[in-house]
Structure 1
Amino acid sequence: MTLEPTPQTSTGKKIGYVRVSDTDQTEDLQVDALKLAGCDVIYGDHGVSGAIRVRKGLDEMLTSLEAGDTLVVWKLDRLGRSTIHLLQLLDDLRRRGVDFQAITQGIDTTTSVGRMLYGQLAVFAEFEREQIRERTKAGMAAAKARGKHIGRPRKLTEDQIAYARRQLATQRDTVAHMATSYGVAPITLSRAVKTTESDVDSLFSI
């Protein structure tokens, strides 16, 4: 469901995000905490497990963020579906100049301690990217040694589609460039971005 946010400037906003599953009873608690933290607008996913890869509310929230904004969540587990996913999201925020707060865990990257955390996350995120590159190279080498064809375009994952949607929505990349990096035709990526939708409620408002 959607409610209108209050008027605000283009930068320096506090953006909240909540996620609740069907059995979760913390929705009101999360929203109240985000309001108290001064959030200008709150996005959310209702009835969604943290393990779900594509969450419409999360996707729209990430697209709305601008440099100078602060993303606020009640707890870290509301944001990422896994440690690696959370790490990737936080590193992406850091690169975009977006601060982050997790209320119950006292994490706040607008402080000196929080900025140090961002620095540590960057190191771990780069390590994970390097591990992925090495595993990909090793897998391709092993497949080639077995005589398997490597050039067939691979199917896009839900993570890739969600990331592409954010990049294209904010004009930070092009279909042609992203399709090349994914090893698929531009039309394949365009169709995936246009047709992949989530059926969950996506926006909450103050």
Structure 2
Amino acid sequence: MSHGKPPRPIGYARVSTEEQSTRRQVDELRAAGVAELVEERASGADRSRPVLARLLRALGPGDTLVVTKLDRLARSLEHLLEVVRGLEARGAFLRVLGDPIDTATPQGRFMLQMLGAVAEFERALIRDRVRSGLARAAREGRRGGHPGLRARDPEAVARLRQARDARHRARLLDGAEAWLPLLVRLRAEGCGWEEAAAGVNRHLSGQGSWSPERLRRAARSLARAGLAPAALLEPRPAPRPPAPPDPDEAVRAVAALLGQTPGMTLRALGAALERLRLRPRRGGAGWAPSSVARLVARARAAGLA
């Protein structure tokens, strides 16, 4: 989906299981004039839906995401509003065929504002209920929270950590196809984490903000779960030290040059050595005639010229 195309409606159809069919939703979307659509089989409660995530990233200014009902897109008001904010940031719109919601119209935007107000009211009620419950528990001498975590039970702590790690990996995998193959190649070529992060961010064209440390942690999490090659975490091989210069290389080169052109002057020999990228042992920009003369003398003493 290219943002260079004219604005267009794009449909999203979702069912929860492989046994269910999206045909009814597809037919309704087609009847509403939606020619381009994607389908997904995933639970509505799962926010890390890869097809929906890719679609939301691909929408551009003027595009409209079309669904048959709100519950096909989100199962909570909070998630719905999060999706709408993401669409607004991209200049895109949301249209729901079964509800009076079309954010391209004033009426549809007003409906979403009303939903946002309801969501905030619900959050306020929940906060009040939580505070009231904690206060009542404190008066009765009870403590809130998970008993196992309060007691630092190792199994409870491990389960909590595993659940947190699983959520983190799910977020990483959402969109990993855009950066993980490149990271694998850069690391195989010997790039460090700083260079790899810069390469990944360039590849994502401003849509990525990976720091070297965050990228390393992400690679470690995926590799430990077997979702990325373990070689990602291998340290770069230390660079080999440059080979020491061969002191006789210039002597052999002078002998070869004199063998081809016996009458070469010292200045011509020096210029030829520079073209061969041979430098004087003591450094310097070029060969002095006296240094070339010493090479000639050594070549003749060795019987090379």
Match of 1:116 among 92, 107, 110: 110
The question of 1:175 aligning with 2:204 is answered: no
CA spacing shift, 1:102–1:50, aligned 2, 3 Å: same
Post-superposition shift, 1:54? 2.0
Post-superposition shift, 1:114? 1.1
2:7 aligns to what? Answer: 12
Once superposed, what is the RMSD of the aligned Cα atoms?
Answer: 4.1
CA spacing shift, 1:187–1:85, aligned 2, 3 Å: same
CA spacing shift, 1:42–1:171, aligned 2, 3 Å: farther
Contact 1:53 1:158 in 2 (8 A): no
The question of 1:79 aligning with 2:73 is answered: yes
Distance in 2, matches of 1:158 and 1:30, equals 31
Distance in 1, matches of 2:206 and 2:118, equals 27
TM-score, with structure 1 as normaliser: 0.60
**Could you say which structure has the greater relative contact order, defined with CA pairs below 8 angstroms and 6 or more residues apart?**
1
**Which protein has the larger Cα radius of gyration, Structure 1 or Structure 2?**
2
Contact 1:175 1:190 in 2 (8 A): no
TM-score, with structure 2 as normaliser: 0.43
1:199 aligns to what? Answer: none
CA spacing shift, 1:117–1:40, aligned 2, 3 Å: same
Post-superposition shift, 1:193? 7.9
Distance in 2, matches of 1:123 and 1:163, equals 30
Uncovered stretches (5+) of structure 2, i.e. residues with no partner: 124-163, 180-200, 229-305
The question of 1:187 aligning with 2:216 is answered: yes
Contact 1:100 1:110 in 2 (8 A): yes
Uncovered stretches (5+) of structure 1, i.e. residues with no partner: 129-153, 197-206
Identity of aligned residues (%): 32
Distance in 1, matches of 2:222 and 2:6, equals 27
Match of 1:157 among 159, 168, 181: 168
Q: Aligned letter for 2:215?
A: P
Contact 1:71 1:101 in 2 (8 A): yes
Contact 1:15 1:72 in 2 (8 A): yes
